[in-house]
Amino acid sequence: LGAGEPRLEASGLPPSGLPAPPVQAEETRDISWLRQLELPEIPVRWDGRVVRYLEYYKDDPRGRSAVVSWIKKSGRYGAAIRRVLREQELPEDLLWLSLVESGFDPTIHSPAGAAGLWQFMPEGARIYGLTVDRWIDERLDPERSTLAAARYLSDLRRRFGSWELAFAAYNMGYGGLLASIRKYNTNDFWELSRLEAGMPLETALYVPKILAIAIVARNLKVFGCDELELDPAVTFDKISLGSGVSLQSVAAATGAGAPEIEALNPQLVAKRTPPLPVDARDQARWEIRVPAGAGARAAKSMPKLLEREPKLERYLVRWGESLDDIATFRGTTRWTLQSLNGLRPGEPVRPGSLLFVPAAEGVGVAAAEHLLANSAPLSSEAKPVVVVPAQRFSYEGRRRVFYRVVAGDGLRDLAAVLSVTPDEICRWNALAPGASLHEGMTLQLFVPRSHRYDGVFLLDEAEARVMEVGSEEFFAHFEGLKGRKRIEIAAREGDSFSKIATRYGLSVGSLERINQRSRRSVLMPGDRLVVYVPTARPDDPPPVEPREDEVRVASAEAAGPVDDGDKAAAAVPVKPA
């Protein structure tokens, strides 16, 4: 090379000094049949991986079986997908990317969180106009998700300039592919896919597989699929319905089974049309698919069926509210709310979520709060118990309230809603800043008196029975719930943890836990310990400080044998507690 000319520093291939595996001699393959194949609209490079896929699908029984299954499945959604691709002026062969992604199953979910025919992740789906929430997941809607995928693929093709790179970006992510292009300084997919760590192996095989299947679909006779009967296309009618209509009612109106209606509408994950947004001014309508030919009958039957359905209202979940709280406010049950809203057992409801609740006059949050404000004050015993640290706080211009943690609450989000800081919440409640909040905890908060918290379920100080940790009231309450009481005792001469545990009906482990003291520690007469005993048991005499001579005798015994002069003193018993 001359001065200033480019020099090859690295090829991306293993160093030549590494031992190479012996090359196995193989029979010369006849690949002349490839020249007869009709090619797809997508440009094809005869890379070795593409050829090997084609040979596998043509000559291997497992490959032929897979191709037969795929081509048959394409009958269900193939025509609808091709129509969308034509409308978006894209190659119809992009259909086969959906096959590789999902096997043409519109309800499939990946462990990573992707879903639907085109395996969109939630955020990517929202970017391309799909609704993904607890009521509707349009990734599962074959029509809507195909339109979003067509737009996404069109964008990738425009950004990268080739379909191979567009497919690679669809699989490994736009950012990942762009970083690889910049790192290796090449925008040729086939080159990148051969370089060490150029891209994930899955992506390096993903693109050739799509191209190979697209070629197979154009040459069904060559691959033994020309006489296949495709699965019937999914056909349907559509009817327009308002908010809160269950798919069970739609099934009744069409005379079809509920599973059939649910299969036609997989995007309705709660099996009911969703509630209108809080600020909605117009009555939104949703298009629901029904079996082909049943649309007119369903549209005629629905009004009468809806008259017999229970009337529903929307309910906006507040901070600090659980499903049980809402059920109590609305005079209904947890099971009813789960059924109306398609909630799984144990699934939490988060602040700001809209739920359906049975409509009934005089119930709801406002009515419940009015009743609470105007009813007779609760007795001390009836108030909810709140446990707080022993340290006390007082702030001018603030009031103390209590917030019960529900599943999913985070410290920072909660602090922002309540106009306080995370550090303040930790200080007021003896919390570790990095630890999680757990459902059932109750936090004491000192919030500005001037602020309104309509969207938060708070308990005022007068409505709670507040106990300081470790106080007599604290132990009397919590041990009383177990039929026990807390008493303090003094150890006797010769006592051990085992003897005291047996005397008071406790395990040695419980005695250790209560006193935070090892069972191996030596107990001296008069040492104070705490035990929990049945409430009905008479109290022991109060602990008495041992006299000086008792302590001296006990110390002498612990030290070893005593002489005759001390035997008389040693015989004096140590007064028990």
3-state secondary structure 80-143: HHHHHHHHCCCCHHHHHHHHHHHCCCCCCECCCCCECCCCECHHHHHHCCCCECCCEEHHHCHH
Q: How far separated are the first and last CA of the chain, in Å rounded?
A: 101
Kind and range of the H or E element at 403?
Answer: strand 398-404
CA distance 506 to 502: 6
- pLDDT value for 18: 37
Contact (Cβ atoms closer than 8 angstroms) between residue 200 and residue 172: yes
- pLDDT value for 361: 58
44 CA to centre of own chain: 41
CA distance 193 to 180: 10
CA distance 211 to 188: 16
- pLDDT value for 271: 94
Contact (Cβ atoms closer than 8 angstroms) between residue 78 and residue 213: no
- pLDDT value for 90: 98
- pLDDT value for 540: 59
- pLDDT value for 23: 44
Quote the pTM value: 0.74
CA distance 354 to 359: 14
User: Would you give per-residue pLDDT tens digits along the chain (577 residues)?
Assistant: 444 444 434 334 444 433 434 444 445 778 899 999 999 999 999 999 999 999 999 999 999 999 999 999 999 999 999 999 999 999 999 999 999 999 999 999 999 999 999 999 999 999 999 999 999 999 999 999 999 999 999 999 999 999 999 999 999 999 999 999 999 999 999 999 999 999 999 999 999 999 999 999 999 999 999 899 999 999 999 999 999 999 999 999 999 999 999 999 999 999 999 998 877 766 788 999 999 999 999 999 999 998 888 889 999 999 999 999 999 989 999 999 999 999 988 888 989 899 999 987 544 444 444 444 444 444 556 789 999 999 999 999 999 999 999 988 999 999 999 999 999 999 999 999 999 999 989 999 999 998 889 889 999 999 999 999 999 999 999 999 999 999 999 999 999 999 999 999 999 999 999 999 999 999 999 999 999 999 887 765 555 555 544 444 444 444 444 344 443 333 434 334 3
- pLDDT value for 543: 52
- Helix, strand and coil in the chain, % to nearest 5: 40, 10, 45
- pLDDT value for 372: 41
CA-closest candidate to residue 476, choices 490, 465, 460 = 465
- Domains of the chain from N-terminus onward: 34-218 (1.10.530.10), 236-303 (no CATH), 314-368 (3.10.350), 381-468 (3.10.350), 475-570 (3.10.350.10)
Strand 465-468, strand 528-534: pairing? unpaired
Tokens (6 digits) for 57: 């699908």
- pLDDT value for 13: 40
Residue indicated by tokens 């567009």:
166
